[in-house]
């Protein structure tokens, strides 16, 4: 009989919920998580993908320890290489979207010592560092227009940090925070128009806050241990986003597409994104263990949304992300959530609660 931790989502809304179960209890045996990873992977690989979708799927394969698939996805991204250095561009998208897979592509270069892959990664980094459009403060635009989006926090910053450019990664994060952060809501707005110096979309989009939390979790992973102040700053930022989201969590463990607007559709992927960030933070010791109860609750809720073919349903759906559906990024975060959750389940309790 499988051991399960049954947690009432209703009791978890808010930061200080008491948890009677051991901090590192997990939702199911590791084999269930691995089975879900395989189902999500098959479905994801069947989907048509754009540059950021190829990138986040490559990152998901990296998180799951699938070296071969990381290399295959990297080589496929190079086929769609632009002369300016961007990778996986099947349609002309945004300046920073190709960086979504940068850290995974760099790992493929390291593992294979393939000069073509190495050159492609160097070209992508050159694009992000010196060619991509940015504002007068040096903050990268997310689209080919003077706009800064919360999505961008999972694009260039994790790539830059993984390549050792820690200060530049932190500069980008601070620039995004300056324009998008609401201290009152403890959430990020979605789109800032830098030319008009006003919000293009002020809504607190769930996906954007999820991208941010997951992206900064990966940046923290890349920062040297000696950078305690910077790591602490990012950890506090992620925790703020978690609290802002959890204040609006539904009793079923999920969230609305616009986090504080219950008239918008119920959405699955934010729960997966936040669960990944929590598992990553607890494993690394920069988040208190008490958040595991929320992560397990969100993981359980998201699992219920996977259909028989492995598609995670009722996410902010491709291709326009304006309604409920399916998406490669949701498949990727299913994999990332399950991979991180399995590691938590295998770990010993740490004294960070």
In-domain check, residue 105: yes
Given a contact cutoff of 8 angstroms between Cβ atoms, the answer to whether 255 and 270 are in contact is yes
As a whole number of angstroms, the distance between CA 97 and CA 230 comes to 25
CA angle 282, 284, 289 (to 5 degrees): 20
pLDDT (0 to 100) of residue 26: 41
In-domain check, residue 119: yes
- Number of domains making up the chain: 1
In-domain check, residue 150: yes
pTM above 0.75, yes or no: yes
Name the burial class of residue 111, with classes exposed (0-12), middle (13-18) and buried (19+) by CB atoms within 10 angstroms of its CB: middle
**Which domain, by its residues, includes 253?**
26-343
Residue 257: half-sphere exposure toward Cβ, Cα within 13 Å:
13
In-domain check, residue 21: no
In-domain check, residue 260: yes
Q: Per-residue confidence of the chain (353 residues) as pLDDT tens digits?
A: 333 333 345 444 443 333 333 333 344 445 789 999 999 999 999 999 999 999 999 999 999 999 999 999 999 999 999 999 999 999 888 999 999 999 999 999 999 999 999 999 999 999 999 999 999 999 999 999 999 999 999 999 999 999 999 999 999 999 999 999 999 999 999 999 999 999 999 999 999 999 999 999 999 999 999 999 999 999 999 999 999 999 999 999 999 999 999 999 999 999 999 999 999 999 999 999 999 999 999 999 999 999 999 999 999 999 999 999 999 999 999 999 999 999 997 774 543 43
Give me the CATH number covering residue 72: 1.50.10.10
pLDDT (0 to 100) of residue 9: 56
In-domain check, residue 66: yes
């Amino acid at each position: 009989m499988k051991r399960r931790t049954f947690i009432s989502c209703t009791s978890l809304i808010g930061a200080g919920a008491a948890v009677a179960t051991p901090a590192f209890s997990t939702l199911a045996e590791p084999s269930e998580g691995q089975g879900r990873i395989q189902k999500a992977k098959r479905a994801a690989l069947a989907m048509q993908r754009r540059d950021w979708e190829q990138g986040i799927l490559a990152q998901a394969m990296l998180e799951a320890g699938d070296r071969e698939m990381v290399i295959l996805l990297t080589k496929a991204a190079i086929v769609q290489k632009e002369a300016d250095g961007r990778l996986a561009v099947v349609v002309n998208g945004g300046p920073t979207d190709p960086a979504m897979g940068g850290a995974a592509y760099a790992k493929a270069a390291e593992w294979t010592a393939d000069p073509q892959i190495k050159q492609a990664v160097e070209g992508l980094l050159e694009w992000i560092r010196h060619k991509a459009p940015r504002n007068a403060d040096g903050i990268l635009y997310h689209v080919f227009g003077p706009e800064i989006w919360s999505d961008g926090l999972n694009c260039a910053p994790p790539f830059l940090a993984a390549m050792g450019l820690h200060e530049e990664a932190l500069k980008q994060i601070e620039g995004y925070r300056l324009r998008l952060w609401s201290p009152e809501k403890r959430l990020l707005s979605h789109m800032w128009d830098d030319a008009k110096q006003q919000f293009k979309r002020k809504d607190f989009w769930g996906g954007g806050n999820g991208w941010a939390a997951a992206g900064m979790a990966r940046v923290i992973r890349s920062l040297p241990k000696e950078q305690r102040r910077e790591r602490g700053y990012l950890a506090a930022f992620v925790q703020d986003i978690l609290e802002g989201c959890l204040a609006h969590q539904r009793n079923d463990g999920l969230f609305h597409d616009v986090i504080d607007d219950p008239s918008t559709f119920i959405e699955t992927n934010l729960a997966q994104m936040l669960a990944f960030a929590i598992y990553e933070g607890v494993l690394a010791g920069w988040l208190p263990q008490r958040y595991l109860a929320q992560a397990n609750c969100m993981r359980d809720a998201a699992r219920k949304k996977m259909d028989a073919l492995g598609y995670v349903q009722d996410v902010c759906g491709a291709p326009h992300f304006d309604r409920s559906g399916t998406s490669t990024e949701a498949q990727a975060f299913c994999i990332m959530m399950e991979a991180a959750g399995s590691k938590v389940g295998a770990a010993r309790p740490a004294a960070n609660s």
